[in-house]
Chain A
Amino acid sequence: MRELAGTPDEWAHLVEHRPDARTYAELRRDEHVGIWLICWMNDHDTGYHDHDLSSGAVAVTAGAVREERLVLGGAPAARTVAAGDSFTFGAGDIHRVSHAGAEPAVTIHAYSPPLWRMGSYEVLPTGELRRWSLSYAEELRPIGA
């Protein structure tokens, strides 16, 4: 994935920033890994989610994104990851990723095995957490993208 992040010739033509939503392109897919290009701007935000059985890694190639891990009863564990850096998550981790800073961001995501189903978390006004089971299409092939 880092190698792919370092060879923009392979994906630069797919970079497209839209003010209303992230854009997505699948770069590679095989039995073991699915690799996606995601373009961010305007504080685009995934909301809290998990990746069911897939672990993953994210390389930032332009701009910056902020990752927050859900912490019960406290502020999320947050970090901002800028161009040239990367972060990883396990299949069991619950996180949200959002665009950070003024410059549009470009990230490359590797999911292994390829992303299939996800959990999306809704925080109710009472503080209760509600999990919605989703196809990966909701995240990577959303309506209108």
Chain B
Amino acid sequence: MDVPATDVHQHLWPEGLLQLLARRTVAPRLRREDRDWILELAGEPPAVLDLAAHDPAERARRAAADGLDRIVVAPSTPLGIEALPVREAQPLLDAFHAGVLELGAPYALWGSVPLAACGPAEVDALLDAGAAGLCLPAEALGGPEALRRTAPVLERLAERDAPLLVHPGCAAGDTALPAWWPAMTEYVATMQAAWLAWAEWGRAAHPGLKVVWAMLAGGAPLQAERLGARGGPAAAVHDERSWYDVSSYGPKAVDAMLRVVGVDRLVLGSDRPVVEPPSLATLGPAVREAVTRTNPAALLGSPRGLTP
């Protein structure tokens, strides 16, 4: 096979990023508690970090066992690094970028920028360094004002024919709630808002930009009938420059999505190590071929780090 089987959405925290997080005194940070490392985030309960889950060799082994040739590593936007002041955010993002790029194959990189200072120059620097594209938190596209702020970045990405990954951002949740709460409420709501804003304003402003939506865009395209009934841009489900990663969803939701947007729009994004990806085997070998090979190739082209 000359088209690599690709997982477009995993998270991996390189050594350099872990060290910087451990030096911080406020969230997001890592703190030592006896023999454990505790991850503290602003909107989520403290949790023990499984360092083994971020071992690149073990992760690559698991990907190979699943028949995958390439892993595109996304920034963990729920950490909230992008929203920090630039002087705090930039060293953390630099450590993330450098750590992933140093790994080389099978790893490739979604770059990330501090939201307070992102422009075309930052996009160029990331792509020139070898990033496959840029990842933005959903909030950065969540409405007309947000889209106006992000426009220079999106324009440069489109000019360079590099894709955008839209990923849920930092939850402002209540730490008394269960760990899954943000994933089922704020993540879904912000992804849906970003997708709807893209349908209403973003796509018209950036007709050429390739966009991949994490977690099936929170299921936003499944709301198309309701969107149409309320006078909204329901035809956006047929946008040929949008893809949807299946992260955290199983065969039922993916099949429902396939019916709305077609198989050509779906890509494998496992979200490892956050979740273990459900099997999509019941959808059949042709769906797997489309989701792991054909569609990621159309989305990512052949940037550095993605050619076998």
Contacts and interface: CB of A to CB of B under 8 A. Distances in A.
Given A135-B286, A143-B286, 7 more contacts: A31-B228, A135-B255, A137-B263, A138-B285, A141-B287, A141-B289, A141-B290
B262 A135 contact: no
Q: How large is the interface on B (under 10, 10 to 19, 20 to 34, 35 or more residues)?
A: 10 to 19
B238 A30 contact: yes
B284 interface: yes
B287 A137 contact: yes
A114 B262 contact: yes
B230 interface: no
B150 interface: no
A135 B287 contact: yes
A143 B288 CA distance: 9
Across the A-B interface, give the 3 residue pairs with the lowest CB-CB distance, nearest first: A137-B286, A137-B263, A138-B286
B105 interface: no
Interface in A12-34: 26, 29-31, 34
A65 to B, nearest CB: 22
B23 interface: no
B264 interface: yes
Contacts of A116: 258-259
B68 interface: no
Contacts of B235: 30-31
Contacts of B228: 31
Interface of A: 26, 29-31, 34, 114, 116, 134-138, 141-143
B194 to A, nearest CB: 22
A30 B228 CA distance: 13
A143 B264 contact: no
Interface of B: 224, 228, 234-235, 238, 255, 258-259, 262-264, 283-287, 289-290, 294
Nearest to B261: A29
Contacts of A29: 238, 262
Given A30-B238, A31-B234, A134-B284, A141 B259 contact: no
A29 B242 CA distance: 14
Contacts of B289: 137, 141, 143
Contacts of B286: 134-135, 137-138, 141-143
Contact of A136 (B234, B238, B263, B294): B263
A141 B283 CA distance: 13
Nearest to A142: B286
A31 B229 CA distance: 13
Nearest to B234: A31
Contacts of A114: 259, 262
A116 B256 CA distance: 9
Output the residue of A134, A135, A141, A142 with the most chain B CB within 10 A. A135
B232 to A, nearest CB: 13
A142 B263 CA distance: 11
20 contacts: A26-B262, A29-B238, A31-B224, A31-B228, A31-B234, A31-B235, A34-B262, A134-B284, A134-B286, A135-B255, A135-B263, A135-B283, A136-B263, A137-B263, A137-B286, A137-B287, A141-B263, A141-B264, A141-B287, A141-B294
